[in-house]
Structure 1
Amino acid sequence: MSATEVHLTGYPAEVAGAELPALIADMVASGITAQDPELWGEKSVSEASIRLGWVEAVSVSAPLVPAINALREQLTAAGITRIVLAGMGGSSLAPEVITRTAGVPLVILDSTAPGQVLAALDGDENGTLEQTALVVSSKSGSTVETDSQRRAFEVAFRDLGIDPAERIIVVTDPGSPLDVSAREAGYVVFNADPNVGGRYSALTAFGLVPSGLAGADIETLLREADSALLEVSIDSHDNPALRLGAAIGGSLNGTRKDKLALVPDGTPIVGLPDWIEQLIAESTGKEGTGILPVVLTSLSPEVDETPHDVQVVRLVEDAEHLRLFERHKGEILVSGSLGAQMVLWEYATVIAGRLLGINPFDQPDVESAKVAARSLLDARPEQAPAAFVEDGVEVRATEAALTASGTLKGTLDALYAALPEDGYVSIQAYVNRLEFPQLEGLRDMIAADTHRPVTFGWGPRFLHSTGQYHKGGPAQGVFLQILEASDVDVEIPERPFTFGQLIQAQAAGDAAVLAEHGRPVVSVTLRDSGDDVLDLFQAVDD
């Protein structure tokens, strides 16, 4: 029985049928397995030649499992009951889906919102700070979010009389600045393969160390992945990765559906669409093209009435469920275990990248938002005054015409009116997601109102995933930023700025870069949490 199943009918079957013969003749699948850097064209060779290590992640990572399990036993014996992960992008999204699917607790700290940082420091039902170990995951250690989080925990541990070297585990590339400093500090260090980019690192130390320490069965995960390797490497029409990559990245008669609706519908894997989202968006969204993943539920408006440029992918449980979904003509149905699907989607993404004619391993537009945020942190200018304030909600926009109505509803209507025919709305919530989970409900409301695909991202974590697509992909998006004005703030040791100032700079920096690319942005700042959220919902729903 196949490790994964990819079922195609209707349009995606026609697209795959048109693209597969060339992919097979060019031996693309076996070429990926052989780590051939020329598969994506001459301009991509230098980057691809140092970014294909993920195809052998299973064999490279297997020797790490005993060491991870032994460390978990050591931490448990020392009374450690709680694991916190400081990491961004693929470094946090892969462990999140692994541990959620396994049903084991892992605190994901991929935010600079002060309230969320405080919650990670304060502890929860799984343990206090005294019972906590921190995993710091960063290829270089220079990621500002992760570096700031590490500094905060180091001081917090010392304040309790705890040596940070007893509680901090580092995952990084060998020889990186973080590798050097962590070893000097006496921290436990796991090195990952440097020839693997962050979004392809799920089956490396970046995915395995925090997941294994949290209690997930990482040995089984690698076994699942191994079971899929042979079938995705064969140059055949039966190769599920070739079929999936062709269906999502290919075109038919010169047209392509460039939005990919990811719908969990019966799969036991929890949160897989969020991991797929960052993998595809950051890999393909560049040079004015790309595939926009849209994370949905089976009840989302885009599933009920699918826009012309949206391809629905349903993640189902198994082959039996595939047969039950025969009525969903024109959709892509995918099943398989978590490890096998990670391999499947990694292969399919780079195959789609070849069809798009782009380099799936670089992220040329991610750095621009980081530079803008650093500039704002250095200068720390006064925030521009709000265009208007309605019921305590401050409203700003990158274009004066958007706020000309002087009302929140009018501003949102003006933003939606800027949508092109093939456009999408991006909601970006730079808030403590532990306090504002209800904001995700805005996604379906706006989709129903605009009849267009709507994405939702927690800031700043999306900057390390879909942020690349927003700037480098097609100029189709309009953007709604949601910020919070909170009296809570947290100092960052040995830094001249706080977490509150950092997240504000990240939001403002990204808005500025989006504006430079001609993307309209509306920013709303919630000043009174609960009431403001209800006001915002009401404005959207009217």
Structure 2
Amino acid sequence: MYSEAFAKLIARVDGKRKLLSSGFMRRQTLVLGQYQKPVETELARLRAQKSITRTWACDASLWTDSPQVAAQIENRLGWLRLPTDGRIDREVLRAARDESRRAGWRHLVMLGMGGANITAETLYAIFGQQEGFPALITLDSTDPTAIRDVEAQIDLARTCFIVASKSGSTLETLAMLYYFYDKVQNGDQFIAITDPETRLAEEAQRLGFRAIYYNPTDMAGRYAALSYFGMLPIAMLGLDFERLLDRAAEMALACGANVMGNNHPGLWLGTVLGVLARRGLDKLTLLSSPEIAAFGAWVEQLIAESSGKEDKGIIPISGGTVGLPHDYDDDRLFVYLRLETSAQNPDQAVKMLQEAGHPLVRLDLRDVYDIGAEFFRWQFAAATVGMVLGINPFDEPAVEESKQNTQRLLDAYVQHGALPQSPPAYSEDGVSLFADETTAALLHALRQQQALESSPLSGMLAAFLRLARSGDYIGLLAYLPPRPEYIAQLETLRRQLRHVLRRAVTLGFGPRYLHSTGQLHKAGCDKGVFLQLTVDDPEALPIPNLPYSFSVLKQAQAEGDYEALQSRGRRIVRLHLGADPMRGLAKLEAAIQAIAAKQK
């Protein structure tokens, strides 16, 4: 008895020593006001149920009572020890780095969706191109124009394609592989990252890929930042993966089994997120130093897909500018990732939000390499959110629904030569609004009732956007090529909506968002007002080996998700922008102006 108690004491002292040496808790600040007490109460509950030691013991009963689900969860906790267990072989990564430099590639093009490529995209946006190494282009779109844009940027003969898919069966990834392999006809320019014995692994062997990297199977894609999915591409880009992994290992030790809950960086953050979400502050608004702004997109996919289920969830808001306090409703929790070495920190704007009474978490990073530590902290936080909200943070059940709808529509296309079509509710100047009959009738009536000063189409749009009440959010679902001019215009509209309606506004490009926030839209809390944006494609762009084009695939994905959201009773309309996206987006801007004029 005495020796057991002494061993526990020694373990706790060792945990405290590791925590103090890392300094992570000294570099985080919490200003919660009235929510401080509920957070402390929840931390005490988690401490009483020994949640930290049980997490490290892979005790799935923390998240479920089902033996079947527990077995699945136990096979999704491999990320916990990944920074320290040696399964991501640094010698392998060093060899890949050196080979990439010798090969003289001009570009690496990552073909993948969601967690398969977002880590590399995030880190490249932060660190940039390294001397003597290739530039990175990430392709996660089935839009024909987006694919042609990538093709126009590269010298095919001097490009290496990294094809990344955990399941190995991701339709978009395989389609992109077939397209670019048909262009290059050289397996030595392709590398695969996947789980063992997948369809992608088989295709890579058949086509004679330069290399196949098998990732550990015991983690979901969004928890795989520190695996080969994240680390292999950045090694090939010449980034210092070793420093990033070292920082991740520091955080893993600071989040260890022997660290008490109040001093545990991951449990602490996840508890704050979960408790405030339960109390209605479920719009997790990510602010940061500009040098690390790209990290927000990675957090967005992790938190949205992990928490958005069983009519619960946290709505992450990343990107955009910091608004004034009156631009925000009282459903926000701000998390400010502050880079200590930055000369451009938005400290004054953040201070104004804090002084206005908004709850705020501040995480200070010593330098950009602390992003490696943040990957681990946020993964542990996402797991903790699952405990607090009472959901399984390691599955993504609603993602499959849109996939099934897409496949049904593609099968119909193969059989009949065309996708099913529905008439628009209203058309104007080459732009069309699609809605079910009930919604269309409601919007016509509201437009007249509210006497909005606009064209009929913009008036219906304005009436739809005004359905977003306090506590709701607006989701812009853009099936457009992610060109800079479209991104800039959508961000402007997003900022205008936030200012006029005081609602959180998310922006996702399709089909990319289907692999991140799409889970939250369909299975999370019913607070979304969704505007899907589609365009005419200038060309179909055939997919080798498949009986349909990229244009048809993208249309089927948009319609499949639209149907999935409708079937769950979500508020959604589609605005088809026609052949000129900017002209179509002007209709949306006119709708926002009509709302603003009405509120004066």
Does 1:485 pair with 2:509? no
Pairing 1:57–2:82 present: yes
Cα displacement string for residues 44-65 of structure 1 (whole angstroms, at most 9, x for unaligned residues):
4122111000011213566533
How many angstroms apart in 2 are the aligned matches of 1:291 and 1:196?
21
Q: Is residue 2:429 matched to residue 1:391?
A: yes
Q: How many Å separate the matches in 1 of 2:107 and 2:72?
A: 38
User: 2: distance between equivalents of 1:120 and 1:46?
Assistant: 41
Which secondary structure state, in structure 2, belongs to the residue aligned with residue 370 of structure 1? Answer: helix
Contact kept, 8 Å, 1:277 with 1:295, in 2: the verdict is yes
Secondary structure of residue in 1 paired with 2:109 = strand
Classify 1:343/1:12 alpha carbon distance in 2 versus 1 (closer, same or farther; 3 Å): farther
* Residue 137 (structure 2) aligned to one of 77, 86, 107: 107
1:446 aligned partner? 497
The Cα shift of 1:288 comes to: 0.8
Q: Which residue of 2 aligns with 1:134?
A: 161
Shift of 1:147: 0.7
Q: Deviations over 1:397-428 (max 9, x none)?
A: 23322552582222222212332432111100
Q: What is the aligned counterpart of 1:368 among 379, 393, 401?
A: 401
Q: Which moved more, 1:528-537 or 1:185-194?
A: 528-537
Q: Structure 1 residues 424 and 340, CA, compared in 2 at 3 Å: closer, same or farther?
A: same
CA distance in structure 2 between the partners assigned to 1:173 and 1:471 by the alignment: 27
TM-aligned CA deviation for residue 538 of structure 1 = 3.1
* 8 Å CA contact retained: 2:111, 2:138: yes
Higher deviation after alignment, 308-317 or 358-367 = 308-317
Tell me what 2:47 maps to.
24
* Candidates 189, 192, 202, aligned match of 1:180: 202
SS in 2 for 1:42: coil
| Native 8 Å contact 1:90 1:201 kept in 2 | yes
Q: Is this contact kept in 1: 2:254–2:265, CA < 8 A?
A: yes
Instruction: Please say which of residues 273-282 and 23-32 is displaced more in the overlay.
Output: 23-32
Q: Does 1:401 align with 2:444?
A: no
Residues 136-535 of structure 1: pairs in structure 2 closer than 5 A: 136-158=163-185, 163=186, 165-187=187-209, 188-233=211-256, 234-250=259-275, 255-264=279-288, 266=289, 268-300=291-323, 304-318=326-340, 328=354, 330-336=359-365, 337-380=370-413, 381-398=419-436, 399-401=439-441, 403-404=443-444, 407-434=456-483, 436-437=486-487, 438-527=489-578, 528-535=580-587
Cα distance in 1 for partners of 2:35, 2:577 equals: 42
Q: Which amino acid aligns with 2:155?
A: T
Question: Unpaired segments of 5 or more residues in structure 1?
Answer: none
* Residue 561 (structure 2) pairs with residue 536 (structure 1): no
For residues 53 and 583 of structure 2, the distance between their equivalents in structure 1, rounded to whole angstroms, comes to 56
- Tell me how far apart the structure 1 counterparts of residues 401 and 71 of structure 2 sit (CA, whole Å): 22
Task: Give the deviation of 1:12 after TM superposition.
Answer: 4.6
CA distance in 1 between counterparts of 2:28 and 2:346 reads: 9
Larger displacement relative to structure 2 (177-186 or 50-59): 177-186
Q: Is the 8 A contact 2:461 2:588 kept in 1?
A: no
Aligned-partner Cα distance in 2 for 1:495–1:117: 16
The CA deviation at 1:350 is 0.7
SS of residue in 1 equivalent to 2:192: strand
CA deviation vs aligned residue, 1:452-478 (integer Å, no higher than 9, x gap): 111111111111111111111111111
Deviation at 1:524, TM superposition (A): 1.2
Q: Does the 8 Å CA contact 1:100/1:271 hold for their aligned counterparts?
A: yes
Contact 1:28 1:235 in 2 (8 A): no
Shift in CA distance, 464/402, structure 1 to aligned 2, threshold 3 Å = farther
What do the CA deviations read for 1:315-365 (whole angstroms, capped 9, x no partner)?
Answer: 112499899867625211122310111111000111011010000001111
Q: Secondary structure at the match of 2:285?
A: strand
Query: Relative to structure 1, is the Cα distance of residues 17 and 430 closer, same or farther in structure 2, using a 3 angstrom cutoff?
Result: same
Task: Give 1:304 deviation, angstroms.
Answer: 4.4
Residues of 2 paired with 1:377 and 1:433: CA distance?
Answer: 24
Q: Is the 2:271–2:388 contact (alpha carbons within 8 Å) kept by the matching residues of 1?
A: yes
Q: Which moved more, 1:37-46 or 1:362-371?
A: 37-46
Q: Deviations over 1:141-188 (max 9, x none)?
A: 211110100000110102xxxx2x211100001222222332343221
Q: Output the amino acid matched with 2:521.
A: H
**Residue type of the alignment partner of 1:431:** L
Scaled by the length of structure 2, what TM-score is found? 0.84
Aligned match of 1:40: 63
User: CA RMSD, aligned part only?
Assistant: 2.3
Question: 2:520 & 2:338 partners in 1: Cα distance?
Answer: 27
Is contact 2:168-2:195 (8 Å) kept? no
Question: Distance in 1 between the 2:296 and 2:333 partners?
Answer: 14
User: Any conservation in 1 of the 2:476–2:532 contact (CA below 8 Å)?
Assistant: yes
SS in 1 for 2:263: coil
2:18 aligns with none
Q: Does 382-391 or 315-324 show the bigger shift?
A: 315-324
Change (3 A) 1:236 1:134: same
Corresponding residue number in structure 2 for 1:117: 147
> How far apart are the structure 1 equivalents of 2:248 and 2:282?
28
The answer (yes or no) to whether the contact 1:483–1:526 under 8 Å persists in 2 is yes
Equivalent of residue 114 in structure 2, options 76, 82, 89: 89
Aligned-partner residue type, residue 479 of structure 2: Y
Distance 1:75 1:35 in 2: 37
**What's the offset of the Cα at 1:377?**
1.2
Contact persistence 1:114–1:490 (CA under 8 A): yes
- Contact 1:267/1:335 (<8 A) preserved: no
Give the SS at the match of 1:475: coil
Q: Give the direction of change, closer, same or farther, for the CA distance of 1:2–1:257 in structure 2 (3 Å limit).
A: same
| Matches of 1:464 and 1:156, distance apart in 2 | 27
Q: Which moved more, 1:434-443 or 1:460-469?
A: 434-443
Measured in 2, the distance between the counterparts of 1:401 and 1:422 equals 25
- Structure 1 distance, partners of 2:121, 2:593, is 32
Alpha carbons of structure 1 residues 282 and 360: separation in structure 2 relative to 1, 3 Å: same
1:521 offset after TM fit, Å? 1.3
When the two structures are aligned, how many residues end up with a matched partner? 531
Larger radius of gyration: 2
1:225 to partner: Cα distance: 0.4
Distance 2:144 2:321 in 1: 33
Question: In 2, Cα distance between the equivalents of 1:508 and 1:93?
Answer: 25
Residues 485 and 312 of structure 1: is their aligned pair in 2 closer, same or farther, counting only changes over 3 Å? same
Shift of 1:33: 2.5
How high is the TM-score relative to the length of structure 1? 0.92
Counterparts of 1:414 and 1:535, CA distance in 2: 13
For the Cα contact (< 8 Å) 2:24–2:265, is it kept in 1?
A: no
Q: CA deviation at 1:298?
A: 4.5
Whole-angstrom CA distance in 2 between matches of 1:416 and 1:116 = 28
